[in-house]
Amino acid sequence: MANIDRIQKTFFDLVQIESPSFNEKRITSYLKGYLEKLNFEVTIDSAGKKIGGNSGNLIGFYNGENKKAPTLIFAAHMDTVTPCLKTRPLIENKVVRSNGSTVLGADDKAGISAILEMLEIILKNKIYCGDIEVIFTVAEEKGLLGAKNLDLSKIKAKYAYVVDCEGPIGKIVNKAPSQDWIKAHFKGKAVHAGLYPEKGINAIIAASKAISEMKLGRIDEETTANVGVIKGGTATNIVPDSVKIEGEARSLSEEKLKNQINHMIDNLNSAAKSVGADVEIEVIRAYDSFSLDINDEVVKIALKAAEVIDFDLKFESTGGGSDTNIFNQNGIPALNLSVGMNNVHSKEENISLDDIGKTAEFLVEIVKVAGLRGT
């Protein structure tokens, strides 16, 4: 059984350690110490150096007795969105929130807490289990940068359970979209707006034409698109010669994503052409989609574990990306489990300690079931 007092202590410790993206060093060393006390071998990879952060990803390895069981990964991310400095958690009826001046950081310290509680239960009760890898990533909130730079040579697990999903516990994300970023730089011609306007080429007009004619928002039930950044111009008396825009598109279907990106490119090009401007366009793959079902062992294990402890599961697709996409992209089938956090990325973020406890108990059962299936 999960120990709510222990969960509260761990969770409160974690949310009071400041860990904005690229500044995870303090929380990494706390977690390294925690896992080493549980007999984990812990390494920190070099992702931090590659992405300009002060810590790499934490990779913990527990040498389990059951050598026939598949090695499992349990993963969560250590960084939080801002504002996250001097977080003070308040508790009422076992529900924790911040004092209102920062986010709580349950995203994803609740996920970390559930994983640590699962390990405490397994080790204190000497549950017979296989090898366990714990991966706590950095800079997830900055485009999954930690997971993208994870040192895969140190990983041997077959399946991964990521605990980084909001909403009611029991929710499991088994489908998530691919995402492309699109960047465009419109180049016009700068002239004095009062003296020679007819000699200028206005890059703001080109950009606004392109955006106003683009299909954006929800394209269909599987596809979304957005333009989220626009920068350009210097003064009212100058015809602007440079505007940069940044957008994205996501879809559960590769074909629909390709169609949407092509549609955005066509609009950028034709708008530029219509005013005589140039446009440079760059499309970057952010991450690949994944879709897992009942035929996948990672799903079968979760279903069986839920059945044993009578835990309600609800499989869902999401419009968001997470480290789960990157594990799947690297050939490690992975699911994203809810830990019960609510209103993430806001100062109203909250979580129930009971939900962390129930999630931990579900993870314990996943470890037990994987052990049985492996033998």
Contacting residues toward Zn ion, per CB under 5 A: 107-108, 164
CB of residue 350 to Zn ion, shortest distance in Å? 15
Q: Are strands 132-137 and 178-187 parallel, antiparallel or unpaired?
A: unpaired
The active-site residue, picked from 24, 45, 79, 133, is 79
Active-site residue, 198 included: no
Q: Which is nearer to Zn ion, 211 or 344 (CB)?
A: 344
Q: Which is nearer to Zn ion, 222 or 349 (CB)?
A: 349
Q: Which is nearer to Zn ion, 239 or 334 (CB)?
A: 334
Q: What are phi and psi of 166, to 5 degrees?
A: -95, 175
CB of residue 26 to Zn ion, shortest distance in Å? 19
Q: Where are the alpha helices (DSSP H) in the chain?
A: 4-15, 25-37, 47-51, 106-124, 145-148, 203-212, 254-275, 297-308, 323-329, 353-374
The amino acid at residue 278 is: D
Q: Which is nearer to Zn ion, 340 or 374 (CB)?
A: 340
Instruction: Identify which of 265, 243, 279, 242 has the alpha carbon closest to the alpha carbon of residue 180.
Output: 265
CB of residue 250 to Zn ion, shortest distance in Å? 17
Active-site residue, 79 included: yes
Question: DSSP states of 252-304 as a string?
Answer: SSHHHHHHHHHHHHHHHHHHHHHHT-EEEEEEEEEE--EE--TTSHHHHHHHH
CB of residue 345 to Zn ion, shortest distance in Å? 9
Degrees, nearest 5: CA angle 220-337-256: 20
Instruction: List the beta bridge partners of residue 133.
Output: 61, 73
The active-site residue, picked from 140, 141, 248, 361, is 140
CB of residue 104 to Zn ion, shortest distance in Å? 12
Distance CA 353, CA 93 (A): 9
Q: How many residues can be counted in the chain? A: 375
Tell me, rounded to whole angstroms, the distance of Cα 171 from its chain centroid: 16
Q: Which is nearer to Zn ion, 79 or 222 (CB)?
A: 79
Catalytic residues: 79, 140
